[in-house]
Structure 1
Amino acid sequence: MPSSQLSHRAALPAPSIPTIRYRTAKIDGVELFYREAGAAEAPAVVLLHGFPTSSHMFRNLIPALADRYRVIAPDYPGFGQSAMPDRKQFTYSFARFAELIDGLLSQLGANRYALYVMDYGAPVGFRLALKHPERISALVIQNGNAYEEGLTAFWDPLKAYWADGSSRHRDALRAMLTLSTTRFQYTDGVRDVSRISPDTWVHDQVLLDRPGNAEIQLDLFYDYRTNVALYPAIQAYFREHQPPALIAWGQNDQIFPASGAHAYLKDLPGAEFHLLDTGHFALEDQGDEIAGLMLDFLGRKVPGS
């Protein structure tokens, strides 16, 4: 090979690939797994996952943010790599999840942070905001609900369960824990399904199929009613504190439809609003666009960015 080619190749810059660390912390006796990347002194961004996934959903977003931010992405108990305590000894609820995530962030010294909330991450994250409004530097909201307008026909079987807590209505929801439903959550509303890795729904389903996990998920389906009861307090928080907000929403989502996204503008009229041509797990095929929107938004709104 000519020496000129050798020297040219040697001059090419090495790609910048942030290091992601995979850690576990014990909070109130429960082992919580979390992914962390970026400089400890950088502004913090906390990524809160949805159902039925885990911090795995942020595997591509984390390196996109880590050059500028300290990124922390935890798994809730019973999800991902976190512990799965016996439901007879541990209360699986969104309030408990928020307490544990709050404890984790305090232990990590993350006392001010931007929140990315998606699906289950919204009720967990908004509980953090209600408890510590002074800690929230910004919100990034992706297909996570805080308004009755977002609870359309998809939610009718869950509402029936919330109304009576019966075994009949509980058992009717078991179909939501099957592989076909998990795959549906990733592919429905996506224009080009070839962009969605099958590893996503296979990874999630293996964890859903662990012995005892189905009952945990059904407990959480029932507890979701407490999130709806909290909507007025969450909306009051938005009106009072007006946190900088970016809404980046998969508009073809049947679970959290675009009506739920538009509703935020009633209380956060200054939010930056983007409907994306995708479904529920928007990061899977619109991750580049969402990362770009976040970097621009956080760079303007979060001090120290």
Structure 2
Amino acid sequence: MYIPTSTARLKATFGFSALLALLLSTVQAQQLCSPQLCITATVFSKESTTIEFSLSAQIDSVGWVGMGIGGQAGGMAGNDLAICWPANAAGTGAIVSQRSATMNGPPSPLANPPAFKIQTPKSGFITTATPKRFTCTFSRPLNLATSPVAATAASVHIIYAVGLQPVVAGAGGDPQKASIQQHTFTGSGSLEITKKEGTSAGNGTATTASAAPGATHTPGTGSDGGGGGTSPSTEEILETQEQIDTLTKVHAVMMALAFLIIFPLGASLVRFFSHLQHVFKWHRPLQVTGFLTVLAAFGCILAALAKSSSLNNGAPMVYSTHAIVGFILVGALVLQGSCK
């Protein structure tokens, strides 16, 4: 009879551990997770023309969850978006609104949305989870013209977002007319597509996925709000978001005041009234006032960005064209001022 030596036992143990780790990593790779949201994608053999997405909240008190595919990898532009929220106070089912985004701003509802279908038995506040957390499961055609997914695709790149503010229902209960508040958490990554036999209806109800450390969420590609330390409460997050919104509005008002009123007024004095005495005594103070107003507005938006970054655990920001042009413009103003 063969009796394994200690070396043989060690090799066998190591081999089993490696196999187990490989299997676990394979399972974990089938969901894209952040500390706020886990997403899965499934194609069933008897429903091979559609793909099913399941978005499971990992935090309490979410207002809505959403995802998009087919567009910009790190932003909203060009993505076909699906935004979900609870269907009723009882916690059963979900509502999905299909929207599009041409820039990193509020998405537009589609006038003739494609057929996105909520899987009601797999959506709502899952009773098996403690505490109860919202899950939205919906299916969509693979071959949409705007964001097709190949039938042979092994994965799909997605963006995702979580909002804490409740959705305001649209006229007549139309999901396309609902008012959706700004997201609090965002992210992006590659999501593996799981292939299963049978149909969606034959694969049970939704379960809350766990945000495992080995999940395929790519650090640094979005604002996942993860990391160590104590997570802020919902009230603290909402308060910070309100401060960010206020700073952003102040920034917009001050920039408009500087570039639409103060700077044009100072330039007009020199252009049209240079023949008047002492006109330059008014021109210079106006231009300096405009310059200081721009700097103050710039400070407001930097403070808003800092708060947003801290809210999202220091994740890098995705800057829009507006932000890039703004940085260049303020830099040019500072350079011009330093040359005088």
Band of TM-score, shorter chain: under 0.3
- Flag the structure with higher helix content: 1
- Name the structure where strand makes up a greater proportion of residues: 2
TM-score using structure 1 length:
0.27
Tell me the TM-score normalised to structure 2 length.
0.25
Computing the radius of gyration from Cα coordinates, the structure with the larger value is 2
